[in-house]
């Protein structure tokens, strides 16, 4: 559906206009139109394609969705795909923001994104001296907003990792820890898939040859690039920490198994000694030296108890029991 359709001139808001008025404002040299759509139907995209002269391949990508973050140049216009990552309980919800940018228009299409970008429009309208730069500044503001929303998500994942780290040494189920760590690693990969390709693409918007619509905006896009570099390095660091935590958790499992094995071996030794003695004197031979001893039975029990007591003390000192 149509969220906003606003015309701007020299950095100032002229008016909210209808879709049928877009072409008239786009034709004015110092004016540009910013249209925002949310989960549009195919007919709405086709209508915008006619009004702005959008490239058919870009419109097709926007219609199908689920695109990899990218920046594609079609003549004097740009097609930008951004992934919006939002917390959804213990999981992450991934939406998509497609931005069509020309010299005198910006069309933003968000799909499966719950949180809107009204604050981005308000920010641009509060800064008319920057908005006067045209559609390139609007593209920067949208990209900056999407990238800034990655930081709270990353902080949340880092907090979860710290919580799992504490649980590893508190005796919580090792299986639960492994499942939590693996789920965290998957969510980090989701965020990595949003940040990594965008990092590569944003590098094309400053320095060297830049698209015409982004001319003069190099320092702003470099700032977005710096944020993406920081996000990317932090994601890699947390992924390494998750891998380390998984290894530590598996080591803890091995240690626990060793402790169980040692206890079982110690108890087996305590049972084996009486079994051995009882087995020897339980053999049915007539000529056994101690067979006729009047105190043979209590003596055998005493020997069993003494040896077991001695073994028990040795195992306790060794930490096996």
Domain end (from 125, 152, 179): 125
Q: Is 80 inside a domain boundary?
A: yes
Residue 209 backbone phi and psi in degrees, to 5? -80, 125
Number of domains in the chain: 2
**Host domain of residue 13:** 1-125
Examine residue 232 and state whether it is found in any structural domain, yes or no.
no
Quote the pLDDT of residue 268. Answer: 85
Give a yes or no: residue 160 inside a domain: no
16 found inside a domain: yes
pLDDT score at 308: 81
Residue 140 covered by a domain: no
Could you tell me how many helices (H) and strands (E) the chain has, helices first?
10, 7
User: According to the model, what pLDDT value does residue 171 have?
Assistant: 64
Could you tell me the pTM of the whole model? 0.80
Tell me which of 125, 151, 168 is where a domain ends. Answer: 125
Alpha carbon 161 to chain centroid, angstroms: 11
Residues of the chain short of pLDDT 50, as ranges, are none
Whole-number pLDDT of residue 172: 66
Give the residue from 125, 153, 185 where a domain finishes: 125
| pLDDT computed for residue 146 by the predictor | 95
Residue 54 in any domain: the answer is yes
- Starting from the edge strand earliest in sequence, which strands make up the sheet with 70-74, in order? 12-16, 2-9, 31-38, 105-111, 91-102, 77-88, 70-74
78 in any annotated domain: yes
pLDDT tens digits, one per residue of 185-243 = 999 999 999 999 999 889 888 877 788 888 888 899 999 999 999 999 999 999 999 98
What pLDDT, on a 0 to 100 scale, did the predictor assign at position 97? 94
Burial class (CB in 10 A: 0-12, 13-18, 19+), 279: exposed
The pLDDT, as a whole number, for residue 151 is 94
Q: What residue spans of 205-294 are helical by DSSP H?
A: 218-281
Q: What is the reported pLDDT for 193?
A: 93
Q: Is residue 165 part of a domain?
A: no
Q: For position 305, which CATH number holds?
A: 1.20.58.340
Read off the CATH number of the domain in which 28 is found: 3.30.460.20
pLDDT for 87 equals 85
């Amino acid at each position: 559906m149509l969220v906003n359709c606003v015309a701007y001139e020299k950095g100032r808001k002229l008016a909210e206009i209808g879709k049928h008025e877009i072409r008239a404002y786009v034709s004015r040299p110092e004016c540009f139109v910013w249209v925002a759509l949310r989960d549009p139907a195919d007919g709405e995209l086709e209508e915008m394609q006619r009004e702005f002269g959008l490239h058919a391949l870009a419109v097709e990508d926007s219609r199908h969705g689920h695109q990899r973050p990218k920046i594609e140049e079609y003549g004097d216009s740009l097609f930008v795909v951004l992934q919006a990552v939002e917390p959804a309980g213990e999981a992450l919800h991934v939406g998509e923001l497609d931005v069509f940018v020309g010299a005198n228009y910006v069309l933003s299409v968000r799909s499966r994104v719950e949180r809107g970008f009204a604050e981005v429009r308000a920010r641009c309208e509060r800064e008319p001296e920057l908005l006067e730069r045209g559609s390139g500044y609007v593209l920067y503001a949208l990209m900056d907003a999407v990238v800034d929303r990655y930081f709270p998500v990353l902080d949340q994942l880092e907090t979860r990792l710290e919580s799992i780290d504490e649980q590893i040494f508190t005796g919580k189920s090792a299986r639960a820890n492994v499942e939590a760590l693996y789920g965290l690693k998957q969510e980090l990969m989701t965020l990595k898939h949003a940040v990594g390709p965008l990092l590569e693409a944003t590098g094309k918007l400053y320095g060297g040859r830049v698209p015409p619509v982004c001319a003069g905006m190099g320092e702003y896009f470099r700032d977005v690039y710096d944020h993406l570099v920081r996000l990317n390095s932090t994601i890699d660091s947390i992924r390494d920490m998750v891998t380390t935590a998984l290894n530590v958790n598996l080591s803890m499992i091995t240690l626990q198994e060793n402790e169980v094995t040692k206890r079982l071996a110690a108890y087996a030794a305590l049972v084996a000694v009486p079994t051995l003695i009882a087995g020897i004197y339980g053999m049915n031979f007539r000529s056994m030296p101690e067979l006729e001893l009047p105190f043979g039975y209590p003596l055998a029990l005493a020997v069993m108890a003494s040896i077991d007591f001695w073994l028990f003390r040795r195992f306790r000192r060794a930490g096996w029991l």
